[in-house]
Amino acid sequence: QVQVVESGGGLVQPGGSLRLSCAVSGIVFDVDKMGWYRQAPGKQRGLVAFITSGGNTNYADSVKDRFTISRDNAKNTVYLQMNSLKPEDTAVYYCNANFASQDYWGQGTQVTVSS
């Protein structure tokens, strides 16, 4: 069984920073892509950023130059450093891990950007 657990969400003022973490555990091997998605109220879930096992990254245009994704392959952990946060970044953030041709999702962590 595979567990995907996110942490690090919360309430932050506009312009502030947060760091999300996601650990994948259980029967895990050769994790290829790890990434973050988000879903705001009334909107579809969309990609924020992903990173491959080789370190290649991809970001949504709306977060480029503000967010940085990284990972620790030995720990099957992925991080999302979020800087210069805006109210429109408010959403539930979901971690995704892809391996053995399957997608695994966490339960999500709430990020709220508000003064």
pLDDT in tens, 14-33: 999 999 999 998 877 788 89
pLDDT of 97 = 94
Low-confidence stretches of the chain (pLDDT beneath 50): none
In the 3-class helix/strand/coil scheme, how is 75-90 assigned residue by residue? HCEEEEEECCCCHHHC
Q: Which two tokens stand for residue 70?
A: 């990284």
C-alpha distances out from residue 14 to 6, 35, 76, Å: 22, 24, 31
pLDDT of 6 = 96
pLDDT of 67 = 98
